[in-house]
Amino acid sequence: MDAIEIEGGARLTGTVEVSPAKNAVLPLMAAALLAPGRSRLRRVPRLSDVRTLARLLEHLGAGVEFGDGGLWVDAARVPGREAPYELVKTMRASVLVLGPLVARFGRARVSLPGGCAIGARPIDMHLKGLEAMGARVVLEHGYVEVTARRLRGARIVLDLPTVTGTENLMMAAALAEGRTVIENAAREPEVEDLARCLNAMGGRVRGAGSSVIEIDGVGELGPMDHLPVPDRIEAGTFLVAGALCGGEVTVRGARADHLDALVAKLKQAGARVDPVKDGLRVRGDGRARSVDVRTGPYPGFPTDMQAQFMALMAVGRGLSVITETVFENRFMHVPELNRMGADIRVEGGSAVVRGVRRLSGARVMATDLRASAALVLAGLVADGTTVVSRVYHLDRGYERLEEKLAGLGARIRRIRER
């Protein structure tokens, strides 16, 4: 298994390029199932989650090809209807094939995604929405079977703004009979990007990016040719790295308008963050001021940036209370950060972070995607050597993170552990 070894203490300077967003590419790959034709997604990052979903699309009978830095999905014929446990258990975003399969073919059988490290993460709202559109939903043997002769438009009010739930229902509604209105919809940029792509395919989606999305179903959609939005979480991770290590980092491709909540917190913590021609530049100068953070649905502070920001607060000047409101168990990076000398105490849904002057390098273990990013960031400023094991978590959502950080001056490399 690979690990990442870091010698702490280097300042970071230079420019780093952001890849297109993992959380945009995954729903867009699923949306390709809606169109009988050959769809193209450009500049797709080489991530294990992308490869996993590609395997699922092939399992369903679609053709998937990587090339020219992007990928093609040929969904002219998609004989399969089942997303098997072996694939879904490794990546819950596999449930995104549900909406497209039912909308285009009238049936889907998808393994219920078990819980994952960060929480139970049920899909009840996905299923209630499909039922509202006339689908029959049967749960048995750990699978959900959804059937519908033809979905019909409905008014759906989500209990909370679920991101993939909004995306699944938007894709289902795109081919339904009549109008669907999704209220309390997720407002993430990736939802907006999917809507933009569906419209380019011949769909009729309005209001994406707001909490009320209207979709008028059409008879058929054509294939896409789409460049996904930049990854705001990868960009945010580099902004935190620059604030943490000192120096000056330009994050090329970052969309400032997708990062308002994070940038506001970084500025409160004393970092200088400025928009530049095609991205954002961050300058850190020594220890951050401790600030409180509360995660929430977009445009609130992203839960996917909570662990990375905690690494910054771990060496902050003072006390920071970080409250996680989206997932019920997203503090697994805390015991690992404490092994590096951090002083963090979890109390219910909040972590109380007392900043320390220095962290010390240690062997630590990644537990989930963003926790592993936080441990890499902590290693960049810790005294001595840090080895982060189980970096397969990291590779799910970051393309060559250690190479991109090394390009900024970090002393970091991938090693193979026995």
Scan for tokens 């849904």, then name that residue.
349
Are 291 and 319 in contact, with CB atoms under 8 Å apart? no
Show the tokens assigned to 209.
Answer: 């990016």
What distances in angstroms separate CA 9 from CA 196, 232, 246, 327, one per listed residue? 43, 26, 10, 32
Q: Which is nearer to ligand EPZ, 299 or 384 (CB)?
A: 299
Are 221 and 34 in contact, with CB atoms under 8 Å apart? yes
Length of the chain: 418
Q: Which is nearer to ligand EPZ, 59 or 121 (CB)?
A: 121
- Residue ranges that bind ligand EPZ, judged by CB under 6 A: 22-23, 26, 93, 119-126, 160, 162-165, 303-304, 326-327, 369-370, 397
- Nearest distance from residue 119's CB to ligand EPZ, in Å? 5
Residue among 365, 371, 402 at smallest CA distance from 10: 402
Residue among 65, 70, 42, 58 at smallest CA distance from 94: 58
Residue among 341, 364, 372, 368 at smallest CA distance from 417: 364
Q: Which is nearer to ligand EPZ, 116 or 200 (CB)?
A: 116
- Nearest distance from residue 73's CB to ligand EPZ, in Å? 17
Q: Which is nearer to ligand EPZ, 165 or 217 (CB)?
A: 165
- Nearest distance from residue 247's CB to ligand EPZ, in Å? 26
Residue type, 368: D
Q: Which is nearer to ligand EPZ, 26 or 103 (CB)?
A: 26
Residue ranges in 90-161 assigned as alpha helix (H): 98-105, 124-132
**Among the options 17, 116, 207, 414, which is catalytic?**
116
- Nearest distance from residue 325's CB to ligand EPZ, in Å? 9
Active site residue 116: yes
Is the bond preceding residue 299 a cis peptide, omega within 30 degrees? yes
- Nearest distance from residue 403's CB to ligand EPZ, in Å? 20
Residue type, 143: Y
Active site residues: 116
